[in-house]
Structure 1
Amino acid sequence: MARITYNDIPNGMFEHLRTIEDFILNSSLSKQLIEIIRLRTSQKNGCAYCVDMHHKELKHMGETDLRLSSLCVWEETPYFNENERAVLHFTDALTKLDRRPISDHIYNELLSFFTKEEICYITLAISQSNTWNRLMKTFEFTPGNYKANE
């Protein structure tokens, strides 16, 4: 059972977060890449509710079982292209901060594939996913019940 239910959440809180979600989704980034970011962030944070949600969303988008099951070990697989690998590297670094700035290597890797504007959106998508993960870890919404939009 959830610690905090939808009825306990202050009016407007989720709506404001969803406004940011819409802002990200209306960027030039593909929805699939955004969902990969969300799933990887959720894996790194151990957020079962969000892992369930984003796995189902990616599956609904046609993502393969091989890539979905391998995302947790992406660095060891050949299943992700170079721009996805750059984003995943950045996602891992930004999700688990180590008190140092993001390295030039990681940032420059992104510049090889994305504009500075797109890097801003990627950064916001990672940050937003981390926010949702922290909320769900606190609220303890039950994983498994999410249904992907059909």
Structure 2
Amino acid sequence: MTLRFNYRAVSPHVYQAMVNLQKADSASSIDPVLRELIKIRVSQINGCSFCLDMHAKDLLKLGDYQDHILLLNVWREAPLYSGRERAALELAEAVTRISEQGVSEAVYKRVREHYDENEYMELILAVNTINSWNRIAISTGMFPGCFS
């Protein structure tokens, strides 16, 4: 595998815009473990190996979450996810696949059982941020270790 180009060097203003978006996401009230689960699940859906590798490792730095990572692709069938995590993951999937069926009223209501309006928007920000990173990584040919 070869990196197409280093977008950070070619377009520092684009990189800085993404860093600012990431800072806004990181400053939200979303639990860091949940934020990493969202990043991993969205990266699985989008097929972004660079982000999947990075965020799985980041989650492991937060504690013993190996089972959460291993079962994330089948979170609906795995009992270890809380109701709040399930709601956030369902929203993350709906927003990531928004062109397929939008965010249904049923999904919205399930999410709102666990999150207020501000938290809902913070979840949307988290999902949009990782979707943007995924699209940059995939489009420029990034892969685990490409900057090593």
TM-score (normalizing by structure 1): 0.90
Residue 75 of structure 1 corresponds to which residue in structure 2? 76
Q: Secondary structure at the residue paired with 1:12?
A: helix
Residue 84 of structure 1 corresponds to which residue in structure 2? 85
CA distance in 2 between partners of 1:118 and 1:63 (Å): 25
Write out per-residue CA displacement over residues 16-38 of structure 1, whole angstroms, 9 at most, x where no aligned residue.
11111111111111111111111
Q: Which runs of 5+ in 1 are unaligned?
A: none
Q: Percent identity?
A: 29
**Structure-to-structure mapping, 1:29-68, within 5 angstroms:** 29-68=30-69
| C-alpha RMSD of matched pairs (Å) | 1.8
Change (3 A) 1:145 1:58: farther
Q: Which moved more, 1:50-59 or 1:137-146?
A: 137-146
Q: Which runs of 5+ in 2 are unaligned?
A: none
CA distance in 2 between partners of 1:122 and 1:44 (Å): 17
Q: Secondary structure at the residue paired with 2:114?
A: coil
Q: Is the 8 A contact 2:96 2:131 kept in 1?
A: yes
Amino acid in the other structure paired with 1:10: S
TM-score (normalizing by structure 2): 0.91
Q: Is the 8 A contact 1:35 1:58 kept in 2?
A: yes
Name whichever structure is richer in helix by fraction.
2
Write out per-residue CA displacement over residues 95-123 of structure 1, whole angstroms, 9 at most, x where no aligned residue.
11244331111011111111101110100
